[in-house]
Amino acid sequence: MAQAGFEERINNYKTMHSLGVKFLAGTDAGVPEVGFEDLAYSVQLLHEEIGLSIEEAIETATSNAAKAIGKEEELGTVEVGKLADLIIVKGDLSSDVNCLKQVKYVIKDGERVVEKGRDAYENQLH
């Protein structure tokens, strides 16, 4: 029964996507069947199950999210003058959405705060 409900939601999302509805992914409101903390999996499902391109799926957590909260002039894309935290992943994200689960570095305010999946300060201690 739960699988039927999931499939119905996926079909509804596919219809919405075909009609041009913009999706959002974030850590405070999950995609069905995905925990709140797993943003990478949410993006993966939007690509693999609903049919968004990898670029569109990433935009659900970046530029679409910034537009939704009225902050697109400050956030959401990597441009001169905008605020940005960056992730560096292992692999080619343009062809494999699963690379989002292989974070090598997180850069915040110009500094690495995560290296090889661990807090950068914690790495200095080891």
Query: For 38-68, how does the pLDDT look when each residue is reduced to its tens digit (9 = 90+)?
Result: 888 889 999 999 999 999 999 999 999 999 9
Give this prediction's pTM. 0.80
Residue 110 scores a pLDDT above 90: no
Query: For 22-35, how does the pLDDT look when each residue is reduced to its tens digit (9 = 90+)?
Result: 999 877 755 556 66
Report H helices in the chain. 2-18, 39-48, 54-59, 63-68, 120-125
